[in-house]
Amino acid sequence: MLFKTRNFDGAPVALQARNLTVSLPETPGNPQVLKGIDVTIRQGETVCLVGESGSGKSVTSLAIMGLLPQALKVATGSITLQGQDLLPLSQAQMRQLRAARVAMIFQEPMTALNPVLRVGDQIMEVMELHTDLPVAERRARARAIMEQVHLPDVDRIFRSYPHQLSGGQRQRIMIAMALVLEPVLLIADEPTTALDVTTQKQILSLIDELQQKHGTAVLFITHDMGVVAEIADTVYVMKHGEIVEHGPIETLLRQPRAEYTRKLLSAVPSLSPRAARAVADNTVLRVESLNKIYGGGGILKKLPQAHAAKDVTFTLPRGRTLGIVGESGSGKSTVARCIMRLIDPTSGRIMLDGTDIADLSRRALRPHRQKLQVVFQDPMRSLNPRWTIAESLIEGPLNYGTPRREALAEAARLMGVVGLPQDALARYPHQFSGGQRQRIAIARAVMMRPDVLVADEAVSALDVSVQAQVLDLLDQLQRDLGIAIVFITHDLRVAAQICDEVIVMQRGAVVEHGPADRVLSTPAHSYTRALIDAAPGRFWDFHNFRELPKVNHAEPA
Amino acid sequence: MFNRLTATLLASTMLAGTAWAETTVKAVMHSGLRVLDPVITTAHITRNHAYMIYDVLIAQDSQYQPQPQMADWTVSDDQLTYTFTLRDGLTFHDGAPVTAADAVASLKRWGQKDAGGQVIMDRTASLEATDDKTITWTLTEPFVPMLDILSKQSALPPFIMPARVAETSADEAITDYTGSGPFRFVEAEFQPGLTVVYEKFDEYVPRDEPADWMAGGKVVNVDRVEWVNMPDIQTAVNALSGGEIDYIEQMQVDLLALLEGDPNIVVEKREPTGMQTMVRMNFLHPPFDNQQIRQAALKAIQQEPVLAAMVGNPEYYQVCGAIMGCGTPLGSEVGTETLTQGGGVDEAKALLQEAGYDGTPVVLMAPTDMVALATQPVVVSQALREAGFQVDLQPMDWQTLVTRRASQAAPAEGGWNIFITNWMVPEISNPISNPMLNGRGDDAWFGWPTDERVEELKENFIDAADANAQKAVAEEIQAHAIDNGLLIPLGQYTLPQARRAGITDMINSPVPVFWNLQKAE
Amino acid sequence: MLGYILRRILAVIPVMLLVAVFVFLLLRLTPGDPAAIIAGDMATPAQLERIREAMGLNQPLHIQFVTWLGQLLRGDLGVSLISNTPVASMIADRIGPTFAIAILTILMSVAMAVPMGVLAAWKHRSGADYAVMTFSVLGFSVPVFVIGYIFILIFSLKLGWFPVQGYTPISRGLGAFLSNAFLPALTLSTIYIALIARMTRANMLEVLGEDYIRTARAKGAPERTVLFRHALKNAAVPILTVIGTGFALLIGGVVVTETVFNIPGIGRLTVDAILARDYPVIQAMILLTSFLYVLVNLLIDLSYSFFDPRIRY
Amino acid sequence: MSPVPPPTSAMQPVLRALRLPQFGWGSKIAALVLAVIVVLTLLAQWIAPHDPLAMNPLARLKGPIEGHPLGTDNFGRDIFSRVLIGGQLSLIIGIATAVVSVLIGLVIGMVAGFFRTADAIIMRMMDALMAIPSILLAIALVALNGPSVGSVIAAITIPEIPRVVRLVRAVVLAAREEPYVEAAIALGTSMPKILVRHLVPNTLAPLIVQGTYILASAILTEAILSFLGAGVSTETPTWGNIMAEGRMFFRIKPELILYPGLALSLCILSINLLGDAARDMLDPRLKKRAG
């Protein structure tokens, strides 16, 4: 089965929003954040609300919960839950409703649970607020729902604080809390976005399982088309506060009608690896047995050691891209930072153009710095907010003695290359969007004419459409300038798009290393396979609105 | 069981009862008591403390005459042998009788420290206890002021301590506070600088004569006296209004308005003479190493503004040019017309001109944390400036001042030119004990004048045959001291005391004492 | 936890040693001569010299320091140069009032400031918020002695509710204690309330923007529960911190309040000792207050784990 | 991954904070009051009807009379003139303390924040300095140097330094983890240059705020020092020593405390309100919207 094909036409309507308009009444011009949207969710149905950042999908969910921030007000329209109009309800009545009939889970399981209260108590609090069950009964029900969300060792976890649990466990607690009173509607706002893919897969199937068990209607908000493909019955595509298209999942993926939907789908990188390029042999970067061990110091007692990178070895030829893939805590960023010498490796060699830079002093390192540049994940923080773009761009060249005028001319030229207007140079970072800033960061790195560019999750914070543009830019620069790229990512799709070779890391160690097409199509290691299996919507070629040709995974050895 | 309970209850009620019946006088004195040895310090508060717990051989009455207190005396015809006989019933607080040996040891320790005592000791052939009750003091030459010095109230009266205490070196503070006075020091409740508690000493036998200043019978009519120090006089005034305390030794005159019209409170001058405030100049360094410039400073100043700024109400200050005090037997105001009436500024300017004053700044030390000395420097510096002096008014805390005034260095190198000080009138009423009239250079008081003439005049004073002759010499001393600028008297003032109306029969002696007084409940 | 406490206590040692050296040097370089205050006005320079000799003030500085440090390590704080009383007993006599009033101040301040801060944060940018903020800024803007005088004028002299001065130990009954201690504590509280109310407001504002507050509201929790059960406990750690750092402020205020209300506490003891150059007392007092400051902050650090389970030592 | 946080540009808010129209009405009034006080004290020499030192002890403690709009003090000096002139020195002490402690704290904090070896030693010393109650330290320092303006400024400044150091160090420690600082390292920018060009500007905004608080508290501390007898000479009036001198007469002539107290409190209130407004604008956390 590719998609869910259940039909809910006969099911009773759980929630209906009609002509819902939300505006900012106190902002001049009274801008509308939601512009008259209609959404219908039936009993047992999973409705996905999909869109890029700023599309208004989270505002929709908050409007339903009656939790809009003060600045936002519902201007027109109605929201009915099982026929009851929610908008006229008082705050107290809405409180009665929340968790009891409409429950919500949020994106960040790390911050959505109160860190100073035990999770068991937090689940029990829901019943305390909405029922008059005796304590023992509340406790029993809390444990029961914890069993249902498949938490191990319920006794221990019941007494635990959030920080003692993993991200996946916390999200299970959130789900347990949301479902303990068997609400009519569950709103899940990007519930898996902050999780690793393998955990994401488990959470998605858990939601699916519980939904079927309880017949809950689910409003699932996400930006990830893969996730949509996995779980949706019906999809609503949002853009700038409007629904641009909606329909059953398969119809929408195969025959998107709206231009925006097509664009959105096309931008989703394919899991099928890029065509292999000729193997180049002029090695520019060679890493040998790189190790990084944290901790182990301590005066009074020995602190525990963490082996963040174990014997990492690879070579990178000029003009090629090496992907380092792994989930959080795999050590991929440690490797990147060691190569950049932002942290000092514990042992191993880093040969850059034939020089070992692993042990060079700061001073000795300086001449080599310019060959090695970096682009970080967070486009908001990677540029000094107080500097004009021009100042940021010419900082490096000035350090290496380029005359200011030359550097400025080069900066102006590069603005064109990365697709930004000339006047951008005189502006400040906050005047640009995330994607634009990432282009500027890339331009800053390119100003140095580096041999190697380390891109640490460089596109992870960007919307898919922007992501695609930045990836294209990197590709183009690589072709024009022959830069070698070390591309750190958690996203297999992105890795598939850009990498020639892939290293898969798990808990500091390299578990698999090989050409991208080989690793992604016939993974040898079980962890690699698990990663690929967990990638949502991996069966679908969004770009071409069709299934992917069947790939033959090697059977586990 | 029941009986025991009743007994306990009864006992506690009785205890409470006695506590109720106890009369306690709470007094706010002019300063906090910190030093307990009346020989090591001249601080008035320590002296006042000593009068509470110690007794003296002979004491001054309100006519400044020596009278018997612990002892009667006889003087041999050749004026060389003084015999003191202790009266009966004298007991130390630890129960031991007071013996002549105790008295001799105490007098010898005192004689090392007190200026007057040193003069006597210089003339002493022997001082010994001839028996338990008799002290025989033999001099090498007749010494007229002998009994005046032994009976004086300031600065170091000869208090009698047990011999074991009096054997402490005169440079070290005593640690045993056993006296034979009318009150007992409650050491356990002593908090330095804060509270001192005295209890009536029941075994004290007062003399039969009525109390007259420090002489006469010290009859104690209260059970307990507490001295509480309140650094903020306003707090004390508030507390007196509220009945939380009974007595304030020195009222800030400006605050009297707050107590006016309160029938429960009496404000009065305790004693007629009060204090004198004065300028002292440094004779070692320019410009005041020049007599003409010292004279210019004297002419530049008028007393009344100084006193007005300090005290306010003219009822409590007195313009007075007498360096030995107005209202004392020896007081004379010769040569101080400009001080008392003003009009000397032009003369001062002329003198400065004549002396060729070159504008050397005059360093005037001004203590900021002593209420009784804080205002004078400000007014004096203004007056000096108007006469053409360059004045560098340097504020400092009292501790810095007392350290710095001991420095003989040049003003620019940590020395000084002027400071202001106060003395109680009885302390300066006699040219021998008046520290400002010491002209012996480095051995003189801070300022170090070398003035042979004044020393000569003092010898004449000692040798003077009778009171009239003394008075004549004293007038000469006054004229000379003013002319030479040994000091510039700034006038006399009395800080009145305030008491609850229930406190009666207080003695109006310069030293505030707590015997004789009654407290009505 | 035990290891952590041990390490923190060990870390106190160099800090206290630095304080000790610092204070010692500061004092001995200060002009002033305790011998002069002991001897009084009529003493001659030679007499002063003999007293100085007897008190050991003529020895070289480092010898004096080592002697003092040696005494200190044996738990001997020395004897007051002025009154010859053991410093330890002087402090023991006078620490009670200061301590009691400080505790009362903290209790009163927290009881008033935390609800004020919570209210201000909850009703952000409302009249209540501005009122609380204005009050708290006002608390920083008026010298503490002026506040004290105004309170005395109003509550003691005009209304007659409290005595104007003095101190009654708590052992003579809570009522008697409070009647004396309330006004000084209230005076001291103003600045403390200002400090804590601001800190509470700022942290509550931050916490109220957190995801778990949204979660709590999504659960249908009423505002009271959201504020006090979910938010306040999360905002507690910085509030505790400011109580700790405010302790130094409290000591500064105590010095003034003790003078205004005539409380026989250690604040006045210290100021008097500084003005009289009573070195052993000043040294002991500054060491003691510094040590208390360090101790209070250590205790507060340790109490964090009570409010925030993420903090474990 | 996670959606991006709102921009944390820090220079913009500073610029904005300096543009008054963005303040609330409270801050506008505060700015106005402060401006009036500053102008009055700056022009004190010309406005004051009398020499603040000219005394007439025979006409002391008078109420408002001809020529003395606020009456006279215990030396018969004109209270109005003294309060006007007193503002000068109070403000000078406040500003000098703020500037000096911020500058010294900035340098020490930078060193502590950037050089791990120096950090431990510096911070222990700062801990020790912080542990000593600042008022006691200030009294002792004034006793050491004599109560001149300079030593009062030094006495108030020294206890403030550790607080500035801690602030700067915290900002530096946080900022050195910023990707743009790491990017600068990658661009071969030398450490001193990173310190000055990337890190110092970060401390600017919090230091401006901290500076206003120090300014306010220094004026207050000066008053308290005067109260405790460790202030500057009465010949150089400050709001603090006018009040300290007047406290003895609080019940018979409360104006002596009232007028300088009012001037001081209004001034500090305004400075604090402006500081708060600046902080609210500079603190991105307070701008974060709920939900």
Considering CB atoms only, which of A92, A94, A112 is closest to C212?
Answer: A112
Using the predicted structure, report yes or no on whether residue B63 has a pLDDT greater than 50: yes
Residue A216 resides in a domain: yes
Q: Where is average pLDDT lowest: A277-286, B164-173, C44-53, C111-120?
A: C44-53
User: Given this model, what pLDDT does residue D58 score?
Assistant: 85
Count of domains observed in chain A: 2
Cβ burial, residue A432 (10 Å; 0-12/13-18/19+): buried
Tell me whether residues D248 and B233 touch, CB distance under 8 A.
yes
Q: Where is average pLDDT lowest: A11-25, A221-235, A242-256, B228-242?
A: B228-242
Taking the C-alpha atoms of residue B137 and residue B130, their distance in angstroms, rounded to an integer, is 10
Q: Where is average pLDDT lowest: A291-305, B55-69, C152-166?
A: A291-305
Residue B10 — very low, low, confident or very high, per pLDDT cuts 50/70/90? very low
User: Given this model, what pLDDT does residue B252 score?
Assistant: 85
**What is B275-493's CATH topology?**
Dipeptide-binding Protein; domain 3 (3.10.105)
Chain A residues with CB under 8 Å of D188 CB are 366, 369-370, 396, 399-400
Q: Does D47 reach chain C within 8 Å, measured CB to CB?
A: no
Residue A437 resides in a domain: yes
Residue A280 resides in a domain: no
Reading across the β-sheet that carries A234-239, which strands appear in turn?
A: A102-105, A185-189, A217-222, A46-50, A234-239, A242-248
What phi and psi, each to the nearest 5 degrees, are found at residue C130? -65, -35
Residues A261 and A390 placed together within one structural domain of the fold: no
> C14: Cβ–Cβ under 8 A, 6 or more apart, which residues?
D124
Tell me whether residues C218 and A98 touch, CB distance under 8 A.
yes
Computed over every residue of chain B, the mean pLDDT equals 89
Q: Please count the residues of chain D.
A: 291
Considering CB atoms only, which of B233, B255, B396 is closest to D147?
Answer: B396
Using the predicted structure, report yes or no on whether residue A450 has a pLDDT greater than 50: yes
Domain boundary at A266, A296, A313, which?
Answer: A266
ipTM of the complex: 0.77
Task: Tell me the shortest Cα–Cα distance from B259 to chain C, in angstroms.
Answer: 13
* Mean pLDDT, range D262-279, rounded to an integer: 84
User: Given this model, what pLDDT does residue B467 score?
Assistant: 85
Amino acid at C287: L
Residue C43 — very low, low, confident or very high, per pLDDT cuts 50/70/90? low
pLDDT, tens only, D144-190: 777 788 888 988 898 899 989 988 988 888 888 888 888 898 888 88
Domain boundary at A211, A234, A266, which?
Answer: A266
Considering CB atoms only, which of B171, B194, B403 is closest to C54?
Answer: B171
Q: Please count the residues of chain C.
A: 313
Question: Which domain CATH number covers A32?
Answer: 3.40.50.300
User: Range of A409's domain?
Assistant: 379-449
Residue A456 resides in a domain: no
* Mean pLDDT, range B131-159, rounded to an integer: 90
User: Given this model, what pLDDT does residue B327 score?
Assistant: 84
User: Given this model, what pLDDT does residue B443 score?
Assistant: 79
* Mean pLDDT, range A34-50, rounded to an integer: 92
Amino acid at C138: L
Tell me whether residues B404 and C84 touch, CB distance under 8 A.
no
Residue A296 resides in a domain: no
Tell me whether residues D136 and C137 touch, CB distance under 8 A.
no
Question: Which residue in chain B has the smallest CA separation from D227?
Answer: B369
pLDDT, tens only, B292-304: 999 999 999 999 9
pLDDT, tens only, A309-366: 889 999 999 999 999 998 888 888 899 989 999 888 999 999 998 889 988 888 888 8
Using the predicted structure, report yes or no on whether residue A167 has a pLDDT greater than 50: yes
What is the pTM (predicted TM-score) of this model? Answer: 0.79
Residue A461 — very low, low, confident or very high, per pLDDT cuts 50/70/90? confident
Using the predicted structure, report yes or no on whether residue D291 has a pLDDT greater than 50: no
Q: Percentage of residues in chain D with pLDDT exceeding 90?
A: 17
User: Given this model, what pLDDT does residue D289 score?
Assistant: 33
Q: Does D161 reach chain B within 8 Å, measured CB to CB?
A: no
Tell me whether residues C212 and A114 touch, CB distance under 8 A.
yes
Bridge partner residues of A49 (DSSP): A221, A236
Taking the C-alpha atoms of residue A180 and residue A182, their distance in angstroms, rounded to an integer, is 5
User: Given this model, what pLDDT does residue B14 score?
Assistant: 42
Residue A550 — very low, low, confident or very high, per pLDDT cuts 50/70/90? low
Residues A76 and A205 placed together within one structural domain of the fold: yes
Q: Does C172 reach chain A within 8 Å, measured CB to CB?
A: no
D and C adjacent (3 or more CB pairs under 8 angstroms): yes
Could you say which residues from 75 to 134 on chain A have a Cβ atom under 8 Å away from some Cβ of chain C? 92, 94-100, 103-104, 106, 108, 111-117, 125-126, 129-130
**pLDDT: is B363 or C244 the higher one?**
B363
Q: Does D248 reach chain C within 8 Å, measured CB to CB?
A: no
Considering CB atoms only, which of A69, A342, A460 is closest to D182?
Answer: A342
Give residue B234's Cα distance to chain centre: 24
For chain C, which chains pass the contact test of at least 3 CB pairs under 8 Å?
A: A, B, D
Taking the C-alpha atoms of residue B133 and residue D244, their distance in angstroms, rounded to an integer, is 56
Chain D residues with CB under 8 Å of A66 CB are none
Q: Where is average pLDDT lowest: A417-421, A428-432, B366-370?
A: B366-370
In B397-507 the beta strands, taken as DSSP E runs, fall at: 418-424, 488-493, 497-500, 503-504
Q: Where is average pLDDT lowest: C98-107, C245-254, D98-107?
A: C245-254
Q: Which residues of D206-217 are buried (b: 16+ CB within 10 A; e: fewer)?
A: bbbbbbbbbbbb
* Mean pLDDT, range B337-341, rounded to an integer: 93
Domain D9-286: CATH architecture, name and number where available? Orthogonal Bundle (1.10)
* Mean pLDDT, range B74-101, rounded to an integer: 95
User: Given this model, what pLDDT does residue C313 score?
Assistant: 63
Residues A408 and A261 placed together within one structural domain of the fold: no
Tell me whether residues D146 and B396 touch, CB distance under 8 A.
yes
Q: Where is average pLDDT lowest: B76-85, B472-481, D193-202?
A: D193-202
* Mean pLDDT, range A85-89, rounded to an integer: 90
Using the predicted structure, report yes or no on whether residue D3 has a pLDDT greater than 60: no
CA angle, corner B321, sides to B315 and B323, nearest 5? Answer: 115
Domains annotated on chain C, with CATH: 2-73 (no CATH), 94-307 (1.10.3720.10)
Tell me whether residues D55 and B309 touch, CB distance under 8 A.
yes
- Disruptive mutation site among C161, C164, C180 for chain B (greatest number of B CBs within 10 Å): C164
- Rounded to a whole number of angstroms, the distance between the first and last alpha carbons of chain C is 4
Q: Where is average pLDDT lowest: A272-276, C34-38, C301-305?
A: C34-38
Residue A121 resides in a domain: no
The DSSP code for D90 is H
**pLDDT: is B349 or C42 the higher one?**
B349
Q: Please count the residues of chain A.
A: 557
For chain A, which chains pass the contact test of at least 3 CB pairs under 8 Å?
A: C, D
Question: For residue D161, how many C-alpha atoms fall within 13 Å in the half-sphere facing its CB?
Answer: 26
Domain boundary at A217, A233, A266, which?
Answer: A266
Using the predicted structure, report yes or no on whether residue B5 has a pLDDT greater than 70: no
Q: Percentage of residues in chain B with pLDDT exceeding 90?
A: 62
Question: Which residue in chain C has the smallest CA separation from D290?
Answer: C209
User: Given this model, what pLDDT does residue C72 score?
Assistant: 83
User: Given this model, what pLDDT does residue D15 score?
Assistant: 39
User: Given this model, what pLDDT does residue C283 score?
Assistant: 85
- Of residues B273, B226, B261, B232, the one with CA closest to residue B246: B226
Best-predicted range by mean pLDDT (A235-239, C21-25, C156-160): A235-239
Residue A364 resides in a domain: no
Considering CB atoms only, which of D129, D136, D250 is closest to C289?
Answer: D136
| Residue extents of the structural domains in chain D | 9-286
pLDDT, tens only, C258-297: 888 888 888 888 888 887 778 888 888 888 888 888 888 8
Residue B18 — very low, low, confident or very high, per pLDDT cuts 50/70/90? very low
Tell me whether residues D251 and B382 touch, CB distance under 8 A.
no
3 state SS of A478: helix
Q: Does C145 reach chain B within 8 Å, measured CB to CB?
A: no
Using the predicted structure, report yes or no on whether residue D288 has a pLDDT greater than 60: no
Using the predicted structure, report yes or no on whether residue C205 has a pLDDT greater than 80: yes
Considering CB atoms only, which of D127, D251, D290 is closest to C15?
Answer: D127
Using the predicted structure, report yes or no on whether residue D13 has a pLDDT greater than 50: no
- A226, A227, A233, A239 alpha-carbon torsion, rounded to 10°: -80
DSSP code string of C185-216: HHHHHHHHHHHHHHHHHHHHHHHHTSHHHHHH
User: Given this model, what pLDDT does residue A305 score?
Assistant: 75
Count of CB pairs separated by less than 8 Å, A with C: 75
| Residue extents of the structural domains in chain B | 275-493
Residue A325 resides in a domain: no
Q: Where is average pLDDT lowest: A110-114, A255-259, A319-323, A398-402?
A: A110-114
pLDDT, tens only, D47-92: 888 888 888 888 888 888 878 888 888 888 999 999 999 999 999 9
3 state SS of A3: coil
Residue A385 — very low, low, confident or very high, per pLDDT cuts 50/70/90? confident
User: Given this model, what pLDDT does residue D99 score?
Assistant: 95
User: Given this model, what pLDDT does residue B28 score?
Assistant: 93
- Of residues A198, A209, A220, A201, the one with CA closest to residue A176: A209
